[in-house]
Amino acid sequence: MEMSELDGRREPTSSKLEQGGVRSSLSRSRPEDDSNNGETTMVELAPQRGSSRSKRGEDPALGKVIAGRYRLEARIGEGGMGIVYRARHVLIDRVVAVKLIRPDLRGETHLRAWMLREARAANRVDHAHIIDIHDIGETDDGELYLVMEYLIGTPLSTELARGPMPLQRAVDIIEQMGAALCRAHDLGVVHRDLKSDNILLTARGGRQDFVKILDFGLAALAHDPRLAPKGAVFGTPEYMSPEQARGEQAGPQSDLYALGVLFFEMMTGQLPFRASDRDTLLEMQRTGRAPLPSSVRRDCHPEAEKIVMRLLEKDQRKRYRDGHHLLEELKKLQRSLPSHTTWDAKKAADGTTATPPVPPPPRSPSVMEWASRAGLFSRMVARAFPAGNAPADVSQALATLWDVAAKANHLEGEVASHTRKLEALERRGRALRAEIGRKVEELAQEESRALREAAAYSEEEGQARRELAQAQAAAREHVAAADHAEKLGQGTRTLFERAGAARALVDAKAAWLATRERRRKARESVAADLRAQIEELRGQLSRYADAVEEDLAAGREKIAARTRDGLAYEKQFVDACNVLVSHLKGKPEVRDLMNELRASTEQAPQSGAAKVEPARAAS
């Protein structure tokens, strides 16, 4: 989604709707380029009015098979890090999004290693509101790729281009994002480049505005070349925290600051900081105080405004301690808001809820159809050469069709079996990651409360220490005055009572200080114990994930090897079809069968399990 990065204004990107249809197997053509102008997501956008297809030239990568398994069908997005394609497994009907790293970054070996590490860490988060990463690796020629779930929806930036959101909707979206960030931060993963372009609003289980955070754990490598030279700062300046603008390492608090920018934007319809040049914008992020949302939109909810302003504090220590602390405040706000028809129900009532378009069917016959086409060609040869005097190359091509069809049919079952095993392993791994993630999240919530209580006791302890010092100073004065008067024989009951009261006050202040100190240490001890449990679970997660990844890698390689066999069969089938068509296309006695062949290749398969990618013959 293109955005005017400097002045805070956005231009909605024209969305696209997949143009279905199937290419004829008798005239092989390359997949189309479906890229959006400036689109940075890895998703297919929901259809909108006025959508138009890109006018870009054909992408040479289209049609390429990545890692021996995924054929790139359409270009659906690009950003600072790379290009995203809709892809389909060449032997099974599985549609995914594949991200390839920009060519100019492929030589940066340290960046590739960093990205692989970050992507694997992000994949271990396993949260409903974070995009799933199915596969990560490098091709034989060293090209880095990521295979992700294929999503259809609307970027938050598109919604924000329409203006401010109703508060209930904004809080719902922010709460989902906060929940995802909590899980990620608990597991040691930081997004570092949270922005409206990286938030997708999709539909799931009948619910609209289901949030998916994209580019999780990868965006630290991306920077906007228009606003910052390479190596200066990472992130998008409009959403960049003060510490990032100073060139410091981004952490969980940086993500919370970006959430504050997004919440401000959803409430008011504009960014908190806008400038016409990079340096001014970065300086505003470093030192400028954010305006009150109510100064932009008078009807802003006061509690929502407090949450926004705390998130946008320049001092990290003044922001929320962590995402769990923020979620508690957001849930309080949600409970206080008027209860009325939800936005999902309103959309349904208005008839504006549309079922997202499904990916187009594969533009190829299934393996079973290979045998059907072999039979069709057999009938053509029998008609064209009734005496059985077919040329040797025709007879050989026909035999090849039957042989390859039989092998492909067997291969289809074998790959389907391997795939089922691999998917079962993935499900077990995902279930365990989710279980450990939930346990970590529960412990982290308790740790967050314990640390906040410890901080409160620490403040009371500091106040008690100051009061004790004042009481001690006052006691010393009263005792000294009483002692001096006694030496002079001028001691009075009042003086001695003051000295005694001052000593008693010191004892009381000391006892209060000891209580605060004891309670602080107790809460810190609880937090430390919880942290130890969290680290142990994180270690278990890492060890298990590594073991599962090894098994998955072995399974993927097995499937990749069989898939390469399938691609070889496909080439043999295409070559044999070309030979037969070249001999038969001019013979009038097979014209009706040739038309039948053309008609069958123009019909897309609507269903089926495993599929083999197009076997096309030139007409």
pTM of the model: 0.75
**DSSP annotation string for 429-482:** HHHHHHHHHHHHHHHHHHHHHHHHHHHHHHHHHHHHHHHHHHHHHHHHHHHHHH
The pLDDT tens digits for 57-68 are 578 888 888 887
Residue 535 pLDDT = 94
CA–CA distance, 224 with 3 (Å, rounded to integer): 11
Domains defined for the chain, CATH in brackets: 43-342 (1.10.510.10), 367-601 (1.10.287)
Residue 617 pLDDT = 37
The pLDDT tens digits for 467-512 are 999 999 999 998 898 888 888 888 788 888 888 999 999 999 999 9
Task: Band the pLDDT of 359: cuts 50, 70, 90.
Answer: low
CA–CA distance, 214 with 363 (Å, rounded to integer): 28
The pLDDT tens digits for 155-169 are 999 999 999 999 999
If you average pLDDT over residues 274-279, what whole number do you get? 87
> Which structure tokens are listed for 389?
């005097």
CA–CA distance, 371 with 389 (Å, rounded to integer): 23
Q: Is 147 left (phi over 0), alpha (psi -120 to 50) or beta?
A: beta
CA–CA distance, 419 with 291 (Å, rounded to integer): 54
If you average pLDDT over residues 265-291, what whole number do you get? 92
Task: Band the pLDDT of 556: cuts 50, 70, 90.
Answer: confident
> Which structure tokens are listed for 442?
């529960």
If you average pLDDT over residues 132-140, what whole number do you get? 80
Residue 31 pLDDT = 42
Task: Band the pLDDT of 466: cuts 50, 70, 90.
Answer: very high
Residue 23 pLDDT = 29
CA–CA distance, 473 with 102 (Å, rounded to integer): 68
Burial annotation 418-434 (CB, 10 A radius, 16+ → b, else e): bbeebeeebeebeebbe
If you average pLDDT over residues 298-315, what whole number do you get? 95
Q: pLDDT over 90 for what percent of the chain?
A: 42
Judged on CB neighbours under 10 Å (0-12, 13-18, 19+), 59 is buried
* Between 398 and 51, the higher pLDDT residue: 398
Task: Give catalytic residue positions.
Answer: 193
